[in-house]
């Protein structure tokens, strides 16, 4: 029997298990409660939160884009563990404050938080629209990852479009049914599997193909001087570009609405413990990058259509294992993509219902809100699926592009918590300018000033506009500003 048959069977078994676990997570819970669907009635435990937060980072980017970036861009790939370790740290102080405010005012989204602080329904809608668009962009890279895995590990028998549909269709089913609990409990299974597979495969390939880490990096440095450094001749990224991509990713990390709203799902103590333990995920990601480095000198860049395909190419062409092993590795890679997809899909659906639709029709019943959120799962999923199948952007470009947009929430969020003078006009103007500048440099311009990341240029403009406009416009009532600042 062909190896691809074993690989397909193993991956389908995993998908079935993830599907059942995701559905069971929502049993005996209120099906029509916004609080249950959006924030699990604010009762998720420490382990579940840790895996859910980490699963969002350990995504299709980690298993496909990360190795691909290491293979094609060398030391530039180390921005990933750097921003993972740094990006969570602000949550230690920000998370408990946001959680206390959210519990007191019954918030479920970032739009709820910002709309109340700045007394602006328009801002809530803008936040919702930006969030949904960024979610679709981020979700697209996860679906691309699922498609790559199925297509390559089955020797093309499962086409690109069908592989994506199989895996992501299951995510849609359990998220629409079980809400955040389905995503959370599936992430525990997926997180454990992908961590085991990442370390096993990463170190196996390094020793099998290169003789060990020391020998690997020595041979790469001899063959491509400067490839393993930043800012020297032969480097694939300048110091400014490297520094600003870490900054924009680190600053933007907790600005993702599906991560920001985890402040509403648990206790202050669990937030702080999760923050302290979370940087371990940065360590877990190092062997994943080793996968890409191990292919240098072994795989010709011309042998693959895209650097994102380097892991499945190594599995099928260099690993020398049987189909069951292919399937186990494929399941681990699927777990990485699905653990991000479910949280992103859920977050996007909640933002659509609460931040975009509810402000436009505030008399909606709770049942109608939940219906819109569940239907939003399908709508957002369909848009991302279409982009994944027909769009041309690679996984790295999708990730960095999405962070460039979402990091534009930084001034308005931190301004809400620390600056009484912050106003709705400043927040709205800063967001619009930051988003516009980010997309101008991502899509239209050929380069950015001083080689800075496009999102970082947008954020600098955003901050300036936010401060200047806030100082020129009426502020919210002092009591409300103090409530947020002193929470």
Measured CA to CA in angstroms, residue 459 lies from 141, 208, 435 at distances of 23, 44, 8
DSSP 475: P
Q: What is the pTM of this model?
A: 0.86
Q: Closest Cα partner for 24 from 160, 181, 218, 130?
A: 181
Structure tokens at 217: 């990096």
**Residues in the chain, pLDDT under 70:** 1, 28, 31-32, 57-61, 320-324, 391-401
pLDDT of residue 400: 60
**C-alpha span between 211 and 405 (Å, rounded):** 41
Read off the tokens for 435.
């988003």
pLDDT at 417: 96
Q: Where are the domains of the chain?
A: 3-396
Written as six digits, the tokens of 232 are 């020297």
CA atoms within 13 A on the CB side of 317: 14
Residue 137 to residue 398: CA distance in whole angstroms: 6
CATH class, range 3-396: mainly alpha
**Two structure tokens written together for 453:** 């990341």
**CA pseudo-torsion sign 294, 300, 302, 304:** negative
| DSSP H helices in 88-159 | 91-105, 110-117, 121-153
| Number of residues that make up the chain | 487
Taking the C-alpha atoms of residue 108 and residue 39, their distance in angstroms, rounded to an integer, is: 7
Distance, CA of 41 to CA of 48 (rounded, Å): 14
Contact assessment for residue 220 and residue 289, using Cβ atoms and an 8 Å cutoff: no
């Amino acid at each position: 029997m062909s190896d691809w048959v074993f690989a397909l069977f193993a991956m389908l078994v995993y998908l079935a298990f993830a599907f059942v676990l995701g559905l069971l997570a929502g049993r005996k819970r209120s099906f029509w409660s916004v609080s249950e669907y959006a924030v699990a009635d604010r009762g998720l435990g420490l382990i579940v939160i840790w895996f859910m937060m980490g699963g969002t980072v350990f995504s299709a980017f980690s298993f496909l884009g990360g190795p691909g970036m290491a293979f094609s861009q060398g030391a530039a790939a180390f921005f990933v563990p750097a921003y993972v370790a740094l990006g969570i740290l602000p949550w230690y102080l920000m998370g408990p404050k946001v959680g206390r405010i959210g519990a007191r005012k019954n918030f479920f989204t970032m739009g709820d938080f910002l709309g109340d602080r700045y007394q602006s329904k328009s801002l809530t809608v803008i936040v919702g629209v930006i969030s949904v668009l960024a979610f679709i962009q981020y979700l697209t890279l996860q679906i691309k990852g699922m498609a790559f895995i199925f297509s390559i590990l089955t020797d093309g028998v499962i086409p690109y479009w069908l592989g994506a549909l199989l895996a992501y269709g299951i995510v849609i089913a359990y998220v629409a049914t079980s809400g955040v609990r389905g995503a959370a409990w599936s992430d525990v299974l997926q997180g454990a599997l992908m961590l085991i597979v990442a370390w096993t495969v990463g170190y196996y390939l390094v020793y099998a193909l290169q003789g060990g880490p020391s020998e690997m990096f020595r041979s790469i440095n001899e063959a491509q001087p400067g490839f393993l450094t930043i800012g020297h001749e032969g480097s694939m990224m300048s110091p400014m570009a490297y520094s600003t991509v870490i900054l924009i990713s680190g600053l933007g990390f907790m600005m993702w609405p599906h991560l920001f709203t985890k402040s509403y799902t648990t206790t202050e103590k669990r937030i702080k413990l999760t923050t302290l333990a979370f940087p371990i995920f940065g360590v877990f990601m190092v062997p994943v990058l080793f996968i890409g480095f191990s292919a240098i000198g072994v795989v010709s860049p011309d042998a693959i259509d895209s650097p994102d395909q380097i892991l499945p190419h190594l599995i099928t062409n260099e690993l020398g294992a049987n189909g069951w092993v292919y399937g186990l590795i494929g399941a681990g890679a699927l777990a990485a993509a699905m653990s991000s997809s479910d949280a992103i899909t859920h977050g996007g659906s909640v933002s659509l219902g609460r931040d975009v639709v509810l402000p436009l029709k505030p008399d909606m019943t709770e049942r109608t809100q939940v219906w819109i959120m569940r239907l939003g799962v399908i709508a957002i999923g369909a848009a991302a699926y279409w982009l994944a199948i027909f769009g041309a952007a690679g996984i790295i470009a999708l990730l960095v592009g999405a962070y460039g947009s979402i990091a534009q929430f930084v001034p308005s969020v931190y301004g809400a918590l620390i600056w009484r003078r912050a106003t709705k006009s400043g927040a709205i103007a800063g967001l619009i300018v930051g988003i516009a500048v980010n997309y101008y440099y991502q899509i239209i311009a050929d380069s950015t000033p001083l080689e800075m990341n496009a999102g970082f240029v947008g954020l600098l403009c955003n901050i300036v506009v936010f401060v200047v406009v806030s100082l020129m416009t009426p502020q919210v009532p002092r009591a409300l500003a103090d409530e947020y600042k002193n929470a």
